[in-house]
Amino acid sequence: MYIFIDDFSELPRSDMEQVVDTILAPFNNWSEEFIKLKIAVYPGRVYPGNIDLSKVDEIYLDIYRSYGRNDVSGMEVKAIDFTMRLVTQRLLYFCKEKPEVYFESESEDFWRIIFESCLGNPRILGYILYYCYETSIIYGQRIGVRTIQAAARRYYEEKIYQYFRLNKFLHETFEERSSIYSLKELLEEIVKRAKELRSYRESKVMSEISGRPPTSHFHVLAEYDQVLSTLELNFFLTKYYEMRDRDGREVSVYALNYGLCQQQTISFGRPREKREQRLYFVERIFDYSPIIASYIKVNQEIVCGHCSKRHPHEMLPAIQAFDMLCPECKKGTCKIINLSRKYEKLINSVSEENLLPDTELGILKTLHDERKQMFAKEIAEELDCSYQLIGKRGRNLAERDLVERSENEKGRRVFEISSTANEMYFSETPDDQMDFGEN
């Protein structure tokens, strides 16, 4: 018997532990191979419990793991080929047509641009192609590079950009919401640096590039991956490759979201004229480790859950060596808390009565983005949950005058965002905007 579990990493840590300890681990360990578990998780976001991971087959979907780790050029060739085959086969199956009918695919860079716009993520690719359909295909025009770039920007602005603004309304503690906003500060510093480097010409590799150099990618020490994981989870950036830098250190290469780069006029990718430009991403000017280190020093606190003692960040290695045991009281366990200094006033300005659980915020965002009446099933497909849950939570939102529930001409229940919710949750203030500096 096969059991498939999707989006497992999206469970809160406590719920994940409970599911593993009470259901999954017994199924795996006691069924004598009768039950086979297929679980979709994010790297580093899984609690194994009593499941022996050495006996588990791990299949990675990251582009840098799926398409080779030895050579970034080889990885890119394979990833672009995957993207081309994905689109081509879907067109042949559903439309009985070749790509040339719908795309200006004779362009040399066409398939590379499509890959870069989604970085191999089929769901993002689907949104981008749908937006291209709305702006080109229905008008009898083929999809070109500029159409894809505009669609990628639209996807970023409609689906990703609002993450921080909405999470100030999340029904969590101040510390949890502040932790999310501290990552906004980090993203702002990363993008500012990428924009500064557009005019940098003091290194040999940058001085040899004609026109504006690409600055969409950067690298950090591999130990900082965990700091960037939430930004990656929400597609502001994507881990692109693992390699060694000029000093022989293990580093992770990240790419900023393609649509974000389009919005901020950041050239994407790397130069390709010379063989040695394969190492472009690990040039020293793209080492953002100091940015991460500065963020940690300013925004992270180490707090004991028992005595509430706050420890300086310099003590973290010593505290970690003793399994996060508090050196002050010798009883409590220390936790790392991210706090946003820059946006503390903004977070505190939100009235507690306006805070909503994650699902309710998701319903409002979906209705706001689609700008039309929707069935519970349609909203559920967008949020990856059941339509019954949407119906129940939608009723709660209607009671607060945040959603309008009505019936269409066929008697089916439909939902529409109210003007009250639009004004309260989607009116952008200056503090809500990203501080990316001047274009």
pLDDT in tens, 257-295: 999 999 999 999 999 888 777 889 999 999 999 999 998
3-state DSSP assignment of residue 282: helix
Same domain, 373 and 398: yes
Shortest CA distance to 217 belongs to which of 279, 128, 124, 297? 279
pLDDT at residue 175, as a whole number: 67
> Is 320 inside any structural domain?
yes
For the chain, percent of residues with pLDDT exceeding 90: 59
For residues 145 and 110, the answer to whether their CB atoms sit within 8 Å is yes
Range of the domain at 34: 2-59
pLDDT at residue 95, as a whole number: 94
Same domain, 173 and 290: yes
Same domain, 339 and 258: no
Same domain, 173 and 241: yes
Instruction: Tell me the C-alpha distance between 225 and 3, whole Å.
Output: 31
Same domain, 287 and 322: no
Same domain, 150 and 178: no
Average of per-residue pLDDT across 376-396: 92
> Is 67 inside any structural domain?
no
Same domain, 253 and 204: yes
Residue predicted with more confidence, 55 or 125? 125
Average of per-residue pLDDT across 387-391: 93
Residue predicted with more confidence, 32 or 402? 402
For residues 51 and 29, the answer to whether their CB atoms sit within 8 Å is yes
Which residues, in sequence order, are CB contacts of 211 under 8 Å at separation 6+?
none
Helix H or strand E segment including 275:
none
Same domain, 287 and 302: no
Query: Which residue among 160, 184, 210 closes a domain?
Result: 160
Average of per-residue pLDDT across 180-207: 91
Shortest CA distance to 346 belongs to which of 178, 192, 195? 178
Residue predicted with more confidence, 139 or 33? 139
For residues 303 and 309, the answer to whether their CB atoms sit within 8 Å is yes
> Is 212 inside any structural domain?
yes
pLDDT at residue 276, as a whole number: 75
Taking each helix axis from N to C end, the angle separating 419-426 and 358-370, rounded to the nearest 10 degrees, works out to 110
> Is 435 inside any structural domain?
no
pLDDT at residue 174, as a whole number: 67
Residue 37 has pLDDT above 70, yes or no: yes
Q: Which contacts of 160-167 are long-range, i.e. CB under 8 A and separated by 24 or more positions? A: 160/234, 160/235, 160/236, 160/257, 160/259, 160/260, 161/434, 162/365, 162/426, 163/234, 163/236, 164/432, 165/428, 165/432, 166/361, 166/365, 166/425, 167/361
Instruction: Tell me the C-alpha distance between 256 and 224, whole Å.
Output: 16
On the CB side of 129, how many CA atoms lie within 13 Å of its CA? Answer: 20
Shortest CA distance to 359 belongs to which of 379, 375, 333? 379
pLDDT in tens, 142-168: 999 999 999 999 999 999 998 888 888
pLDDT at residue 173, as a whole number: 67
Same domain, 191 and 156: no
> If you count DSSP H runs as helices and E runs as strands, how many of each does the chain have, helices first?
19, 10
> Is 64 inside any structural domain?
no
Instruction: Tell me the C-alpha distance between 114 and 118, whole Å.
Output: 7
pLDDT in tens, 227-264: 898 899 899 999 999 999 988 999 999 999 999 999 99
For residues 88 and 60, the answer to whether their CB atoms sit within 8 Å is no
Q: How confident is the model at residue 342 (pLDDT cuts 50, 70, 90)?
A: confident
Domain containing 418 — which CATH number? 1.10.10.10
Shortest CA distance to 7 belongs to which of 34, 33, 36, 46? 46
> Is 222 inside any structural domain?
yes
pLDDT in tens, 311-340: 887 788 889 888 899 999 999 999 887 778
Instruction: Tell me the C-alpha distance between 424 and 354, whole Å.
Output: 8
Instruction: State the pTM of this model.
Output: 0.86
Lowest-confidence range among 112-121, 162-171, 358-367, 401-410? 162-171
Query: Which residue among 30, 59, 88 closes a domain?
Result: 59
Same domain, 49 and 87: no
Query: Which residue among 99, 125, 160 closes a domain?
Result: 160
Residue 79 has pLDDT above 90, yes or no: yes
Phi-psi region of 302 (alpha: psi -120 to 50; beta: other; left: phi over 0): beta
> Is 65 inside any structural domain?
no
pLDDT at residue 344, as a whole number: 78
Structure tokens at 400: 């607060």
Residue written as token pair 């940098």: 200
Residue 301 has pLDDT above 90, yes or no: no
Please report, as a single letter, which amino acid is at residue 12. Answer: P
Average of per-residue pLDDT across 354-372: 93
3-state DSSP assignment of residue 304: strand
Provide the domain count of the chain: 5
Please report, as a single letter, which amino acid is at residue 269. Answer: G
> Is 367 inside any structural domain?
yes
Q: How confident is the model at residue 65 (pLDDT cuts 50, 70, 90)?
A: confident
Which residues, in sequence order, are CB contacts of 399 under 8 Å at separation 6+?
none
Same domain, 48 and 77: no
Strand partners, 356: 170
CB-based burial label for 60 (10 Å; 0-12, 13-18, 19+) = exposed
Instruction: Tell me the C-alpha distance between 354 and 199, whole Å.
Output: 44
Which residues, in sequence order, are CB contacts of 437 under 8 Å at separation 6+?
191, 192, 195
Same domain, 244 and 331: no
